[in-house]
A and B are shown apart, each in its own frame.
Chain A
Amino acid sequence: MIAADLDASFAALADPTRRAILARLASGEATVMELAKPFEMTQPAISQHLKVLEEAGLIVKRIDGTKRPRRLAKAGIDAMDQWLAMLRKALEKNYERLDEVLAAMEPTTKGKKR
């Protein structure tokens, strides 16, 4: 993946509504109306988010009569995996902090000193 695409993916993921849309699509294909429902947003507002996700290569649309259901693209799945990996890293940061707190709580045990 070229750098510009990666930037677009991250920019697309930086918005909580768009991450929620990806999360919804992770559990299966959905129409614009279905996607708009949980957000109490207008369809044009959702369509705008879908456009950003499409341009970032994270989702694809299918033509089904008058409907245009969206689903995750391979890049979208990878992006979700990547997001999870970053989340993992952020959680680990909390626990590294806790390691230090625990070391301070138990100054006599064999915790390594710095």
Chain B
Amino acid sequence: MNTMTKMTLKTEGDTHIVVTRHFAAPPEAVYRAHTDPRIIQKWLLGPEGWTMPVCISDAQPGGKFRYEWSHPKQGRFHITGEYVVLEPPSRIVHVERMHLPDPTPENHVETRFDPDGSGTLMTIRMTLPDTQTRAAMLSTGMERGMEASYLRLESML
């Protein structure tokens, strides 16, 4: 079953990043898990040790969201964004930027939830302003921001 749930992460063209992942739940549930703040707060946490003390998500076109992460040693940072298009349960378009604390260039994100057997195939397509921003995001930003996935290299030494 691992091959079924395996995530892919790849760059596309000069400015895109595409992530895919299968879930064993229908699109309605996966869509809800991406828009309901009480659910987002349970899983969008990255590696051990990070918590999300603030999770605001006003899932309507033009609605804002704000995720704040905190770690006892690594500190805090947050993402703000706006929903552009919401087509439950199949599609979300939003814009986001990280605050580190200065805002990063905007990331335009389209997320699709397509039926896949009895589950869902999620496809996230990000569009960054230029190649350099994308490279910087992949190496310095995403691990803290996009999915709060900061990786503590020190622990590997």
Residue numbers of A with Cβ under 8 A of B are: 7, 10-11, 13-14, 16, 19-20, 22-24, 26-27, 80, 83-84, 86-95, 97-103, 105-106, 109-111
Return the CB mask of B25-65 against A: 1 if under 8 Å, else 0: 11001101100000100111111000000000000000000
Interface size class of B (residues with CB under 8 A): 35 or more
The reply to whether A20 and B140 form a contact with Cβ atoms under 8 Å apart is yes
The reply to whether A22 and B46 form a contact with Cβ atoms under 8 Å apart is no
The reply to whether A87 and B23 form a contact with Cβ atoms under 8 Å apart is no
A27 and B5 CA atoms in complex are apart in Å by 32
A83 and B156 CA atoms in complex are apart in Å by 13
Return the CB mask of B126-157 against A: 1 if under 8 Å, else 0: 00000110011011101100111111011011
* 5 nearest CB pairs, A to B: A90-B149, A102-B25, A23-B139, A23-B135, A97-B43
A84 to chain B, nearest CB (A): 6
- Overall SS of chain B's interface: mixed
A68 and B26 CA atoms in complex are apart in Å by 56
The residue from A20, A22, A27, A111 contacting B25, defined by CB atoms under 8 A apart: A111
Residue numbers of B with Cβ under 8 A of A are: 5, 7, 9, 19, 21, 23-26, 29-30, 32-33, 39, 42-47, 118, 131-132, 135-136, 138-140, 142-143, 146-151, 153-154, 156-157
16 other contacts beyond A94-B147, A99-B23, with CB at 8 A cut-off?
Answer: A10-B153, A19-B139, A23-B135, A86-B151, A87-B142, A87-B151, A88-B7, A91-B7, A93-B149, A94-B46, A101-B33, A102-B24, A102-B30, A105-B33, A109-B24, A111-B24
